[in-house]
Structure 1
Amino acid sequence: MADEKLAKLREAVAGLSQISDNEKSGFISLVARYLSGEEEHVEWAKIHTPTDEVVVPYDTLEAPPEDLEETKKLLNKLAVLKLNGGLGTTMGCTGPKSVIEVRNGFTFLDLIVIQIESLNKKYGSNSQYPRVVADEFLPWPSKGKTCKDGWYPPGHGDIFPSLMNSGKLDLLLSQGKEYVFIANSDNLGAIVDMKILNHLIHKQNEYCMEVTPKTLADVKGGTLISYEDKVQLLEIAQVPDAHVNEFKSIEKFKIFNTNNLWVNLKAIKRLVEADALKMEIIPNPKEVDGVKVLQLETAAGAAIRFFDHAIGINVPRSRFLPVKATSDLQLVQSDLYTLVDGFVTRNPARTNPSNPSIELGPEFKKVGCFLGRFKSIPSIVELDTLKVSGDVWFGSSITLKGKVTITAQPGVKLEIPDGAVIENKSSSDTTMRPLRAASEGGETAIKNPAAESSCAAARRRETAARRQQHAAAQAPLEGGGGAEEGSEWR
């Protein structure tokens, strides 16, 4: 049955003119492995915690040379490759997340270019596979779906054959490059690190995966293990059902994959030419335009077990700063970070080593809605947790401290005035009361939302100035006037 499916699929794929012979061959090989039912689970008894020789603590790495010429020689051996990712559909985007504005008018891509330009000043093709119609097991484009929805990128595990097939790998080698640093474009902490590069070049490690301490928010993330005398990435999909809770334990599995990868270019060439990179297949079923389709993907991190002298490096959490949701975007746009030469740097005024935990309601899920609900991003240097739900709008120059919960009841619009300081408060629109202004000694209040009817969509798109004027009219201070800067919620 599997052979018959594969034969029909191979015949249909052969007629697709939109992809190269290399892509056709890669796709058929991936499907053949999937249909063969390759074992994805691991034998739990064979799993061992990696030693410090396998997962090297970052603090033990030797300092890179201070001589500028020596540093330049190291950098000349490195290429940087950023994974642009798919569409940012989780955040309501119609294009890649890397074109979202992050700070000071710069997008992720802008910051990446500035980072590389800054490094240079101080001392540059993806496959597409056809989606498979699930019930017929035929490529969707052969059924008439020739637009972009008929295709998918086969995961970042495809980066290795793509480098080879595009000619970029040989070009980089001819330029004297030895390593490529691969990272997600939306991870603002993934910058070139000279300590890591220096270590890899001197130790001749063919592959390095940066890992970082796991928190409760990362329990599903892949981790590094020692398995049959090799370092290997263990993903939750490979874990037997009886051990899933054990896998999620941050006591036993203390690190997870940041997807910051450093790989030797000659090793990539050797393994791709030998067709030796047989990473675990990730089946990804989807429904597109009412049609159930299947896409098969692989991950670059899973390739670690095929390289010689592969290691992990346990890096500080600051090297993992992804933007997967608008709550992450709020963090990097806030005063928690500063921007220098394209590098996002932690504000030293933040004494807590962990980032605040931020949970935003569905009203903030899409980037456009998120940006429209803030006149400016609040100060969160002293924030521990923030939970926002309902139709909440933020004024400018707001400060959030400690543990803050803000809830607007259904059908009610809640506006937080300019200059408000909210500290250790759990509030809803029915519990907020007039509060003393910290700077003037008078009293201020949020407008009385209980008396306000539900706002129409058009009303929600009012300009910031009009919203401010409306708030002032609805909630005057004692003695007249609008909400003053420096008002404080206790």
Structure 2
Amino acid sequence: MADEKLAKLREAVAGLSQTSDSEKSGFISLVARYLSGEEEHVEWAKIHTPTDEVVVPYDTLEAPPEDLEETKKLLNKLAVLKLNGGLGTTMGCTGPKSVIEVRNGFTFLDLIVIQIESLNKKYGSNVPLLLMNSFNTHEDTLKIVEKYTNSNIEVHTFNQSQYPRVVADEFLPWPSKGKTCKDGWYPPGHGDIFPSLMNSGKLDLLLSQGKEYVFIANSDNLGAIVDMKILNHLIHKQNEYCMEVTPKTLADVKGGTLISYEDKVQLLEIAQVPDAHVNEFKSIEKFKIFNTNNLWVNLKAIKRLVEADALKMEIIPNPKEVDGVKVLQLETAAGAAIRFFDHAIGINVPRSRFLPVKATSDLQLVQSDLYTLVDGFVTRNPARTNPSNPSIELGPEFKKVGCFLGRFKSIPSIVELDTLKVSGDVWFGSSITLKGKVTITAQPGVKLEIPDGAVIENKDINGPEDL
């Protein structure tokens, strides 16, 4: 039955003109693996906590050379790659998420470029920036990067694969059933980075320039900056792959974690965990770290493994309903590739290297006095003594960036804030200070305005009378 399904699908895919031969074979290979049910199930009893040799504590890394010339040599072995395939739709924006303004009028992409420019200027190095787009973000990104043509940094863009969504009940590609617009297709997750880097010719280009490592990170993670200690360690120890992990808090209980499994370091995702062990997986006692998706990978190793078709990462089935049609997309994650590389390690990094902006509540954190901006680097305010950030929960009225910005005359001071929960039609004046635990609730049909200069500490506010 599976063979029959695959044969029909292969025939239909062969007739699709919007995708390349390498994309077609990559897609068919993914579907064949999915249909064969080859998914490896994790045997819970074989899971071990990795040692410090496998997940190296950041503070044990040697300091990199202070000599400018030595630092330049190290940096010239590096390329930076940002995953730029995501749209800002969840935050109410059109176009790539990386063009949302983060601070002082700068977008994520501006900050990334400024950071690498500062490095290249300081050390006379040539660290290029690569952006992996999806077909959703490609055209907009090309227009945006034009403004960096005069900078001291080479910017390369390439597209990740474009795979057809599969109509679930017939198991046929949706474009062959007439859905030829963008909705008929999907980008197959960031695990696709390795073949796409190769197929685009960018991998060979980097190798020809003497690059040895690529630092991969999500474009919305403001903490993912080039770290000389990590680069120095990998080059000296000849680790082919490094995943940055950081201590779990209760907000990260669903994040993938590193385990030792059958003498290999492996990423364990919540989807792979047997139901009976899900609570154990979520506990921060046994699984203390999670994957930040900041990855450092050796370029020659990528070439070797892609050419051998050896990167068989766990398949993530992602069923969706689009325009009333049930479709299936099969995806993979870049972190899951760790077990195929030699001398792969994790490095347990400070939380400051994980500062993603997934929602407007995250935007409030990075736009507040909790952070300052220097040379494109977002630095945490030392006046904040609590090592973790405040927990912020904003109601649906704040979900879209435009609405969020409109409701604040200026972003409140939150250096001494522990938790903030806002619901209903709430508007903030300027120069407001929030401290401790604050809850602000506007009753249905009531517009609640917090006046300029208000200082609110450990209070529940349900109406003007509470201010």
- The answer to whether the superposition gives a TM-score over 0.5 is yes
Question: Partner residue of 2:45?
Answer: 45
Checking the alignment, whether the CA contact within 8 Å between 1:377 and 1:396 is kept in structure 2 is: yes
Judge conservation of contact 1:419–1:486 (CA < 8 Å) in 2: no
Q: Distance in 1 between matches of 2:361 and 2:341?
A: 36
CA distance in 2, matches of 1:367, 1:5: 44
Would the alpha carbon gap of residues 487 and 135 (structure 1) be closer, same or farther in structure 2, given more than 3 Å must change?
Answer: closer
Work out the CA distance in 2 between the residues paired with 1:32 and 1:177: 34
Post-superposition shift, 1:271? 0.3
Say which is worse superposed, 396-405 or 87-96, in terms of deviation.
87-96
Kept in 1, the 8 Å contact 2:165–2:186? The answer is yes
**Offset at 1:145?**
1.0
Distance (Å, rounded) in 2 between the aligned partners of 1:99 and 1:48: 41
Q: Matched residue of 1:488: which SS?
A: helix
What residue number does 2:463 align with? 486
> In the aligned structure 2, how far is the partner of 1:144 from the partner of 1:352?
55
* Secondary structure class of the residue paired with 1:243: helix
CA distance in 1 between counterparts of 2:281 and 2:376 reads: 36
Query: Residues 420 and 487 of structure 1 are in contact (CA less than 8 Å); yes or no, is this contact kept in structure 2?
Result: no
CA–CA distance in structure 2, aligned partners of residues 244 and 296 of structure 1: 23
Alignment equivalent of 1:191, drawn from 211, 225, 247: 225
Shift of 1:368: 1.5
Offset at residue 397 of structure 1 (A): 0.9
Question: Per-residue deviation at 1:88?
Answer: 2.5
Deviation track 1:444-464 (CA, whole Å, cap 9, x = no partner) reads xxxxxxxxxxxxxxxxxxxxx
Deviations 1:41-96 (A, max 9, x none): 30000000000000000000000000111000000000000001322232222222
User: Does the aligned pair in 2 maintain the 1:419–1:487 contact within 8 Å?
Assistant: no
Q: Partner of 2:321: helix, strand, or coil?
A: strand
Q: Are 2:437 and 2:457, in contact at CA under 8 Å, matched by a contact in 1?
A: yes
Q: CA deviation at 1:284?
A: 0.5
Work out the CA distance in 2 between the residues paired with 1:92 and 1:40. Answer: 38
Query: What is the distance in 2 between the residues matched to 1:148 and 1:94?
Result: 15
% same residue: 98
Q: Select which of 376, 382, 394 maps to 2:410.
A: 376
Deviation at 1:486?
A: 19
| Pairwise CA distance, 1:287 | 1.1
Report if the CA contact (8 A) 1:212-1:314 is conserved: yes
CA contact (8 A) 1:373 1:394 kept: yes
**d(CA) in 1 for partners of 2:210, 2:47:** 38
Task: For 1:132 and 1:93, locate their aligned partners in 2 and report how far apart those are by CA, in whole Å.
Answer: 27
Q: Distance in 1 between matches of 2:403 and 2:174?
A: 34
Question: Bigger shift: 84-93 or 202-211?
Answer: 84-93
1:327 touches 1:358 (CA, 8 Å); kept in 2?
yes
Task: Show the counterpart of 1:31.
Answer: 31
In the alignment, which residue of structure 2 is the partner of 1:117? Answer: 117
2 CA distance for matches of 1:226 and 1:93?
Answer: 40
Q: Which residue of 2 aligns with 1:180?
A: 214
- 1:4 shift after superposition: 1.0
Q: What is the Cα deviation at residue 40 of structure 1?
A: 4.2
Describe the SS at the equivalent of 1:332: helix
Contact 2:98 2:107 in 1 (8 A): yes
Unmatched 5+ residue regions in structure 1?
426-484
The CA deviation at 1:487 is 13
Kept after mapping to 2: 8 A contact 1:225/1:232? yes
Are 1:422 and 1:488, in contact at CA under 8 Å, matched by a contact in 2? no
Distance 2:66 2:181 in 1: 53
2:204 alignment partner, SS class: helix
Q: CA deviation at 1:223?
A: 0.1
Structure 1 residue matching 2:226: 3-state secondary structure? coil
Counterparts in 2 of 1:487 and 1:118: CA distance versus 1, 3 Å: farther
Tell which deviates more after alignment, 322-331 or 38-47: 38-47
Distance in 2 between residues matched to 1:378 and 1:246, nearest whole Å: 38
Tell me how large the CA RMSD over aligned residues is: 2.0
Q: How big is each residue's C-alpha offset from its partner over 1:319-371, in whole Å with a ceiling of 9 and x where there is no partner? A: 00001111111101111000011110001111111100001111111111111
SS at match of 2:457: strand
DSSP 3-state at the match of 2:434:
strand
Instruction: Quote the residue 1:288 is aligned against.
Output: 322
Q: Which ranges in structure 2 are unaligned for 5 or more consecutive residues?
A: 125-158
Q: CA deviation at 1:488?
A: 13
Conserved 8 A contact 2:164-2:185 = yes
Verify the 8 A CA contact 2:442 2:463 in the aligned structure 1. no
Contact 1:219–1:249, Cα closer than 8 Å, also in 2: yes
Measured at CA, do residues 128 and 277 of structure 1 come closer, stay the same or move farther in structure 2, by a change above 3 Å? same
1:414-439 deviation per Cα after TM superposition (whole angstroms, max 9, x unaligned):
011111111111xxxxxxxxxxxxxx
> Could you give the per-residue CA deviations for residues 130-174 of structure 1, whole angstroms, max 9, x where no partner exists?
111111111111111111111111100000000111111111001
Partner Cα distance (1:160, 1:152) in 2: 17
Which of 120, 137, 147 in structure 1 is aligned with 2:171?
A: 137
State whether structure 2 residue 87 is matched by structure 1 residue 87.
yes
| CA separation of 1:487 and 1:199: change in aligned 2, threshold 3 A | farther
CA contact (8 A) 2:441 2:463 kept: no
CA–CA separation in structure 2 for the residues paired with 1:307 and 1:147: 37
Q: For each residue in 1:217-237, what CA deviation from the matched residue of structure 2 results, as whole angstroms up to 9, or x when unmatched? A: 000000000000000000000
What is the alpha-carbon distance in structure 1 between the residues aligned to residue 244 and residue 205 of structure 2? 26
Note if contact 2:12-2:173 (Cα within 8 Å) is conserved in structure 1.
Answer: yes
Q: Any idea what SS the aligned residue of 2:121 has?
A: helix
- Higher mean C-alpha displacement, 253-262 vs 360-369: 360-369
TM-aligned CA deviation for residue 262 of structure 1: 0.1
Taking the aligned partners of 1:80 and 1:301, their CA distance within structure 2 comes to 16
Does the 8 Å contact 2:443/2:463 carry over to 1?
A: no
Give the deviation of 1:405 after TM superposition.
0.5
Taking a change above 3 Å as real, the CA distance of residues 365 and 487 of structure 1, as seen in their structure-2 partners, is closer
Q: Secondary structure of 1:327's partner?
A: helix
Q: Is the 8 A contact 1:259 1:301 kept in 2?
A: yes
Could you say which residue in structure 2 is the equivalent of 1:417?
Answer: 451
Structure ID, larger Rg: 1
Distance 2:355 2:253 in 1: 16
| Cα offset, 1:273, TM superposition | 0.4
SS at match of 2:233: helix
- Judged with a 3 Å threshold, the aligned counterparts in structure 2 of structure 1 residues 486 and 145 are, in CA distance, closer, same or farther, namely closer
> Measured at CA, do residues 283 and 246 of structure 1 come closer, stay the same or move farther in structure 2, by a change above 3 Å?
same
CA contact (8 A) 1:422 1:489 kept: no
Equivalents in 2 of 1:296, 1:256: separation in Å? 23
- Superposed CA deviations along residues 91-123 of structure 1, whole A, max 9, x for unmatched, are 222222111100000110111111111110110
Show the 5 A alignment for 1:156-235.
156-235=190-269
Compared with structure 1, are the counterparts of its residues 67 and 14 closer, same or farther at alpha carbon in structure 2 (3 Å cutoff)? Answer: same
Per-residue displacement from partner, 1:365-411 (whole Å, max 9, x unpaired)?
11111111111111101111100001101111111111100000111
In structure 1, the partner of 2:57 is: 57
CA–CA separation in structure 2 for the residues paired with 1:200 and 1:360 = 41
Change (3 A) 1:214 1:167: same
Q: Is the 8 A contact 2:87 2:95 kept in 1?
A: yes
Give deviations 1:282-335, integer Å, cap 9, x for gaps: 001111111111110000000000000000000000000001111111101111
